[in-house]
Structure 1
Amino acid sequence: MGDLSRYVILRDRNANLRKRAAGEVRGEVAGLSGVLTEGAIPRLGGGAAAMLPPGPELDSADLTANEAKDALRQNDVVGVVRAIPTALIAPKDTPADAAATDTWGIKAVRADVSPFTGAGVKVAVLDTGIDAAHPAFAGVTLVQADYTGEGDGDGNGHGTHCAGTIFGRDVDGQRIGIARGVTEAFIGKVLNARGSGTSEMMFSALKRASEENVQVISMSLGFDFPGLVKYLIEQEDYPADLATWIALEGFRTNLSMFNALMNMIRQQAVFDGGTVIVAASGNESHREMNPNYEVGASVPAVAEGCIAVGAFQQGADGLKIADFSNTNPDIAAPGVGVLSAKVGGGLRTLSGTSMACPHVAGLAALWWEAARSGVLPANANTVSMRMLSSAVVAGIAPGVHVADRGQGLAQAPLAPIG
């Protein structure tokens, strides 16, 4: 877990500038000649202060509870939260009859017949890192940033597998990637070799991804609420009820911080088109034990502005929702028996909503290219709405509830958006 005194501070570097701009606008209205001296803003008219988008900045510091409260009083501070643990959405065992020898998911989502490749689209993968030397990533410019202290690379393998599904090139003649035309990717290593990280790492990587001007972000991780409770009880000797309340507060405040950061990033969309954020819904359900043992989609998948992805598996009468897949996703994609890149070379099969998420992230790259080829505005809202509305229910087994599969099976675009 780390130090409980570690806090993350979200600031808006443009907050004070907007206030000064608004003041000078009022001066103009009164007959004065107010012009911002910073040089970045032209002479302002009546509502020109709104021209300045939020400028997210993140700081981290060891604070007492009172110091954290004091920080919130600063004019440019949007939020102050205690860093909490994050964890890999760990893959599930693949049933013997689902072991893949080909990438069935590529056909299921129609990527094999789409005229789009994701060319010109930049993506981000926030995970355990990447094996940059793997042949699947030949020709892709990878900007890596390590937030774990381990250094670049992938000591777990999860991030490499997910990246392979998004934009991996063919390996020994086997197609694994949805968007093989992507040539630029930001790799934020926010989980270590054990699959552990903190919300501080995740927030920092999200901010950096925004600065890298990516159009798609893929995240197969979640806030580790059970892990925090366990840490507080076993390592800090907190009573179980107090540990649970503290963990709940941390969970709630970090979700609010995530939403605040995403809102700031979304407000920049008027300038750069925005970013589609895709997240795995989680693997905590246990329908194999009891059909009612379902858990709702986890954080950050349920956060405002994220596309939560559930996992399908193949069945005798059509696609069915995987037993482990959390309920209430926005959309679903192949997540059982997914073949993709393996650290050190070659391929391996994994299962989980972590494997469904990169299918949709790759599709988002295709939809971005389709949007740029059409007549509608090429922005994150257009891409998200068209991708969600194009999902199909054909081929899904009878009895699969809408709450488990969302809009349905994600699909690739077949023509420009227009």
Structure 2
Amino acid sequence: MTQRYTVLRDVRGLHTRDPFSGRVPAPGLESFGPSPGVTTPPEPRVDVADLSPRDIRDLSRDPEVAAVAPVMPVQLMKPSGVDATTAATSAWGIATVKADTSSCDGTGVVVAVLDTGIDASHPAFQGVELVQQDFSGSGDGDRNGHGTHCAGTIFGRDVGSTRIGVARGVRKALIGKVLNDRGGGDSDSVFRAIQWALAGGARVISMSLGFDFPGFVERSISQGWPAALATSRALEAYRGNLRMLDALMAMVNARVAFDGGAVVVAASGNESQPQFKISVAIPAAAQGVISVGAVERAANNALAVASFSNTLPEVCAPGVNVLSAKAGGGLVALNGTSMATPHVAGVAALWWQALKGSVPMVRAQQVVARLSSSARTDGFASGVDAADRGMGLVTAPP
């Protein structure tokens, strides 16, 4: 019996005396410098194959194989719409993260948005080189709207007299369509898109999506698996994909010494409820990924954590009543950690630009350190749990 798996390899070749010493280290043991004798950065390659248990055993003996995980469904972090009577008329998140007073605009920084694609004809993206790649099988473009909205918050130009973009000086963006027009996809598309974004020189990678555990259970049941076994199978797949993400992020971190690496940002999830808290989901839960929670404006313009935002994020950003580009033209306000994540991606681009003049080569962990150290905890309403807001509200460089 075979099952569809994603296989992550490091195909750079081994440049060490010991043929195993150049392998990607176990998560948590990765180094930010090259190992002795390693002369090239890791080169992740993602393959997909139908494998039997014997095939998996054989792959585990291959020194180039870093991880193997069952393919599982992914879906966008589904946002909720905003009632027209209360919809924002300005992108309040821009000022909240202090992008409006920053001396930086993201010039020279390449960003990647892995989502539902983009409406390339939208005025918000005029003058931006958009490199599109479809991993979903549904073709380039955005017939869902989620990816267009997220991209607009990261680097969108002004629409009319309304500013929507945090880093509106970005000149090149990699648009990986990993979710189809209904907002669904498979994990292998995400892994292949991350590989593609790294190869394309992305310095910031933004993902507002989640791995669909319930969807995997339902898929298995539809294939005849008993419910209990389908749940166990989904847990195995979830665990395997988390390890796959950890291994891939270890490769991303190992590239830092060679080309600076990339900052990877992901939504924490929209699964919490006022009386129930759910922790950060994958891919945001992977080591080295910046997980993002959502905040909203409360009374007296104080900030509160949105009730839907998953707990234990690393940082937070505006994610309620966020105004950005609408596929087909115009603007629309949406709620979700999906909307908070591009604020953080945009601020990361600003910090990357800010550091360029002070160091010979900007490295991803330097940008991450600035995101963390500059996060603000003032301005929150009383009673906000630190576990829900993380290190605080991301803030742009002065």
Alignment TM-score, normalising by the size of structure 1: 0.88
1:89 match: 77
2:7 match: 9
Select 1:366's aligned residue among 343, 350, 353.
350
Q: Is the 8 A contact 2:2 2:51 kept in 1?
A: no
1:54 CA displacement: 2.1
1:248 match: 235
The Cα offsets for residues 102-143 of structure 1, whole Å up to 9 and x where unpaired, read as 111101111111110000000000000000111100010111
2:338 match: 354
Q: Secondary structure of 2:55's partner? A: helix
Alignment TM-score, normalising by the size of structure 2: 0.93
Q: Secondary structure of 1:192's partner? A: coil
1:20 CA displacement: 7.0
Go from structure 1 to structure 2 and tell me whether the alpha carbon gap of 1:377 and 1:17 turns closer, same or farther (over 3 Å shift): closer
Aligned partners of 1:223 and 1:413: how far apart in 2?
A: 32
2:395 match: 411
Q: Is the 8 A contact 1:283 1:326 kept in 2?
A: yes
Aligned partners of 2:272 and 2:338: how far apart in 1?
A: 14
Aligned partners of 2:230 and 2:4: how far apart in 1?
A: 17
Kindly indicate whether residue 282 of structure 2 is the aligned counterpart of residue 284 of structure 1. no
Select 1:152's aligned residue among 135, 140, 151.
140
Q: Is the 8 A contact 2:2 2:52 kept in 1?
A: no
Select 2:279's aligned residue among 296, 307, 325.
296
2:64 match: 76
Q: Is the 8 A contact 1:18 1:52 kept in 2?
A: no
The correspondence of residues 200-349 of structure 1 with structure 2, limited to 5 A, is 200-233=188-221, 235-287=222-274, 292-317=275-300, 318-349=302-333
1:77 CA displacement: 1.4
Q: Secondary structure of 2:38's partner? A: helix
1:40 match: none
Q: Is the 8 A contact 1:129 1:189 kept in 2?
A: yes
Aligned partners of 1:375 and 1:122: how far apart in 2?
A: 18
The Cα offsets for residues 134-158 of structure 1, whole Å up to 9 and x where unpaired, read as 1100010111110111110011100
Aligned partners of 1:22 and 1:222: how far apart in 2?
A: 33
Q: Is the 8 A contact 1:228 1:247 kept in 2?
A: yes
Greater mean deviation of Cα atoms: 67-76 or 303-312: 67-76
1:237 CA displacement: 1.9
Q: What amino acid maps onto 1:311 in structure 2? A: A
Kindly indicate whether residue 217 of structure 2 is the aligned counterpart of residue 198 of structure 1. no
Q: Which runs of 4+ in 1 moved over 4 A?
A: 19-23, 95-98
The Cα offsets for residues 374-403 of structure 1, whole Å up to 9 and x where unpaired, read as 248521111111111111122111110100
Gaps of 5+ in 2: 22-34
2:369 match: 385
Q: What amino acid maps onto 2:100 in structure 1? A: D
Go from structure 1 to structure 2 and tell me whether the alpha carbon gap of 1:326 and 1:376 turns closer, same or farther (over 3 Å shift): farther
Higher Rg of the two aligned structures: 1
1:251 CA displacement: 0.2
The Cα offsets for residues 302-359 of structure 1, whole Å up to 9 and x where unpaired, read as 1100111100111114110001000001111100000100111111111100000000
Go from structure 1 to structure 2 and tell me whether the alpha carbon gap of 1:21 and 1:73 turns closer, same or farther (over 3 Å shift): closer
Select 1:50's aligned residue among 12, 18, 38.
38
Aligned partners of 1:401 and 1:276: how far apart in 2?
A: 26
1:115 match: 103
Q: What amino acid maps onto 2:383 in structure 1? A: G
Q: Is the 8 A contact 1:21 1:49 kept in 2?
A: no
1:95 CA displacement: 6.0
1:224 CA displacement: 0.3
Aligned partners of 2:203 and 2:375: how far apart in 1?
A: 20
1:92 CA displacement: 2.3
Aligned partners of 2:318 and 2:164: how far apart in 1?
A: 13
Q: Is the 8 A contact 1:98 1:314 kept in 2?
A: no
Aligned partners of 1:4 and 1:153: how far apart in 2?
A: 34
Aligned length, in residue pairs: 384
Aligned partners of 2:36 and 2:134: how far apart in 1?
A: 38
Q: What amino acid maps onto 1:106 in structure 2? A: I
Go from structure 1 to structure 2 and tell me whether the alpha carbon gap of 1:62 and 1:372 turns closer, same or farther (over 3 Å shift): same
Q: What amino acid maps onto 1:185 in structure 2? A: A
2:53 match: 65
1:66 CA displacement: 2.0
Aligned partners of 1:4 and 1:150: how far apart in 2?
A: 26
1:48 CA displacement: 4.7
Q: Secondary structure of 2:100's partner? A: coil
Select 2:124's aligned residue among 126, 136, 143.
136
Q: Secondary structure of 2:101's partner? A: coil
Identical residues among aligned pairs (%): 53
Q: Secondary structure of 1:51's partner? A: coil
Q: Is the 8 A contact 1:335 1:356 kept in 2?
A: yes
Q: Secondary structure of 1:49's partner? A: coil
Select 1:104's aligned residue among 85, 92, 106.
92
Go from structure 1 to structure 2 and tell me whether the alpha carbon gap of 1:377 and 1:132 turns closer, same or farther (over 3 Å shift): same
Go from structure 1 to structure 2 and tell me whether the alpha carbon gap of 1:15 and 1:375 turns closer, same or farther (over 3 Å shift): closer
Aligned partners of 2:360 and 2:374: how far apart in 1?
A: 16
